[in-house]
Amino acid sequence: MFFMLSAKELVNKVKSYDPKADLKAIEAAYKYAENAHKGCVRHSGEPYMIHPTGAAAILADMKVDDKTIMAALLHDVVEDTTSKIDDIKKIFGKEVAFLVDSVTKLSDIYYGDRQTERNLGSLRKLLVKTCSDMRVLLVKLADRLHNMETLKHVPPKKKERIARETMDVYVPLAKLLGIWKVMIELEDLSFKYLAPSDYEYFYKKRLTAKEKRDVFFKKIISDFKHVAKSNGLIVEISLTMDNLYRMYRLRQEKGRFFDFVGESSFINIVVPEVWDCYKAIGMIHSLWLPRQSDFRDYISMPKVNNYKGLHTYVFGPEGKTITFHVKTREMEDSANYGIAAVWYKNRLKNDNDKTGYSWVLEIKNLQKMYGTDIDFVREVKGDLFGDRMLVFTKQGRVINLPEGANVADFAYSIDSNIGNRLGKVFINKRIRNPLKTLRTGDVVEIEMTKDVKGPDIIWLDRVKTGKAKGEIRKWLAKNGDAQERGTRLLSENLRTFLGKSFEKEYLYIKEVVFSKTKFDTVADLVSALGNGEVSVKNVLIQLYGESRILGKKLISGKNMVCLKIYSSDRPGLLNDITRLMAKKGLNILDTNISVDIKTRTAEQIFILEVSDFDQIYHLYIDLKQIEDITNVKVVRKCV
């Protein structure tokens, strides 16, 4: 049973941090929502009003402004009652009405029973509206968090769908806004319903390890407090436990036993000033030996979501690694509540700036570039929902990109003209391939060609960002012969993966195209390939099927694929290749290497265990980006 805040309690909660808030308007919004939802109940049988007040209370903890609180109270009245958005606008003003409308799902009437399309359309609407006012996303996250807290009363199938959507969509959105507290709660609640047995295991293990953990960290905290006090440094120090889902992920990544004493927590230190953060790190390192190259300075270089702080990892008692986070109070509040904390600080200064993050511009660009909801949402997820990195221009400008992005992504993120005239590339002053994958901290310099030569079609399979893909497709559609380009691409991939020529396969392809694809002729198919409308990977699967492309099936149910790599003979190349294969989770069954000493060239054969064609195709794409590899192909018979 959840406790429902009364109007007076909510008003007092807001008044405690924002005396200038329009408290009468909040009370009026409360009463309006209460009347609109009168007689409605939740799955639990409790009054429906428990939900909007719960969402408003979550936002009040973030110290948001009065209009955001009002929008939270009213966020379901248009969707679930007879109230209209014009009524909200007339009574509470256009600002509140905009927030309410932005989090209201698209109509069931418009989409009929096409639930997936409706969900995609609603998500697109939410993201686009967020670009105008980020409070939209704050209201939606509070709405989702309260729904997840009461999810146990929902039917099983719906419960799993909501938990999956939360993990896939709302956790990354909370991360983008830097709202750590909401993000970890959403993670753990989703984890609870998606993997209940794993959740229960980690919950119990963390609980049983509590006594040992408290004893272990007590002396460490005491030792640091003593040193800080003797050096005149005022500190707030606490032991913060990682959430259950993060523990689960760490165990999955490391593939070994998880240490519920040392690895489950970090020591959080809060100091008065920025300079004190560095003093505290010096004191930590004077007490315990730091792990080399594991110090993280997110003050000098904040994370993409504006997170700031210093992280260090040291060797503690019993050989356990101890993690310290050091922040100022402002950094700590921002880490917990992200943009909401920034706005609260601004309001105290009478600064109404609602500036958001750089990724807002990315969403705006993708909105213009992708017409369908499915394409738009796919590219937003690919660009923004994964891990991000910061790279630099020669002039020191910071470019924010998804991890795995390459130089072409970098170029197109700055300007389409730079991407279309991409010439020589220098990464950290060393000449590199234009499709070289970048890493955080890289400094990139691009020499543009005099003429606009444009991208090659193979770039589509190698770039990461939706912006780059859209610009490449736009250029391909306007330039060159799409049919010739598509024919060349299909021919190259037929040779690589099947050892066949396009000419000899033409009649077979013609028959399959007519009977099994949406295209009428081979010319239509290769033209679509040449314009980047379809991927060559999917075309090969449609034409030949995965089993025919991959060949021999193993007892494990996976496929055995023989890959031949042609390259120059340079030190470290074999290590680059095997590291890439390990990163992709590929099992190397056998290998054979031959080197021509006169020409300094090498042929390397790898027999691999692969799950599907997608795995070997993307390995091929990434291998081609490794320096000194000249060609890669699948061979039908392994030597």
Sheet with 587-596, strands from edge to edge, namely 587-596, 601-610, 559-568, 629-635
pLDDT in tens, 597-608: 888 899 999 999
Tell me, what's the pLDDT at 254?
A: 67
Considering 61, 80, 375, 445, which one is annotated as catalytic? 80
pLDDT higher than 80, residue 386: no
pLDDT in tens, 169-214: 899 888 888 888 999 999 999 999 999 999 999 899 888 888 888 8
| Percent of residues, the chain, with pLDDT higher than 90 | 39
Average pLDDT over the chain reads: 86
Looking at per-residue pLDDT, the higher value among 205 and 383 belongs to 205
Q: Is residue 476 part of a domain?
A: no
- Give the C-alpha distances (Å, rounded to integers) separating 230 from 226, 227, 235, 284, 316: 6, 5, 12, 13, 21
Number of domains the chain is built from: 5
pLDDT in tens, 411-428: 999 999 999 999 899 999
For residues 138-165, give the mean pLDDT: 91
Do both 497 and 561 map to the same domain? no
Tell me, what's the pLDDT at 347?
A: 64
For residues 528-545, give the mean pLDDT: 87
Going by pLDDT thresholds of 50, 70 and 90, the confidence category of residue 283 is: very high
Do both 177 and 254 map to the same domain? no
Tell me, what's the pLDDT at 388?
A: 80
Asked about 79 being catalytic, the answer comes back as yes
Looking at the DSSP bridge assignments, the partners of residue 567 are 602, 629
pLDDT higher than 50, residue 539: yes
- Name the residue with tokens 């719906």: 158
Q: Is residue 345 part of a domain?
A: no
Do both 164 and 293 map to the same domain? no
pLDDT higher than 90, residue 582: no
Do both 174 and 48 map to the same domain? yes
DSSP notation for 133-186? -THHHHHHHHHHHHHHHTGGGS-HHHHHHHHHHIIIIIHHHHHHTT-HHHHHHH
Going by pLDDT thresholds of 50, 70 and 90, the confidence category of residue 327 is: very high
First to last CA, the chain: 68
Tokens of 363: 């969403």
| Percent of residues, the chain, with pLDDT higher than 70 | 93
Asked about 628 being catalytic, the answer comes back as no
pTM of the model: 0.73
pLDDT higher than 90, residue 267: yes
Which alpha helices (H) appear in 288-357, and where do they start and end? 329-348
Of 154, 169, 194, the last residue of a domain is: 194
Alpha-carbon span 78 to 532, nearest angstrom:
41
For residues 504-508, give the mean pLDDT: 90
What is the span of the domain harbouring residue 375? 360-458
Q: Is residue 472 part of a domain?
A: no
Beta strand 601-610 pairing with 236-241:
unpaired
Do both 49 and 181 map to the same domain? yes
Considering 79, 95, 242, 330, which one is annotated as catalytic? 79
* Run of H or E residues at 567: strand 559-568
- Give the C-alpha distances (Å, rounded to integers) separating 624 from 538, 582, 613, 619: 19, 16, 17, 9
Q: Is residue 111 part of a domain?
A: yes
Helices and strands (DSSP H and E) totals, the chain = 30, 15
Do both 80 and 188 map to the same domain? yes
pLDDT higher than 90, residue 335: no
Tell me, what's the pLDDT at 361?
A: 72
Tell me, what's the pLDDT at 113?
A: 46
pLDDT higher than 80, residue 470: yes
Going by pLDDT thresholds of 50, 70 and 90, the confidence category of residue 340 is: confident
Tell me, what's the pLDDT at 109?
A: 38
Going by pLDDT thresholds of 50, 70 and 90, the confidence category of residue 625 is: confident
Instruction: Tell me the backbone φ, ψ of residue 318, rounded to 5 degrees.
Output: 60, 20
For residues 612-636, give the mean pLDDT: 87
Do both 85 and 151 map to the same domain? yes
CB 472 within 8 A of CB 455: yes
Alpha-carbon span 413 to 359, nearest angstrom:
11
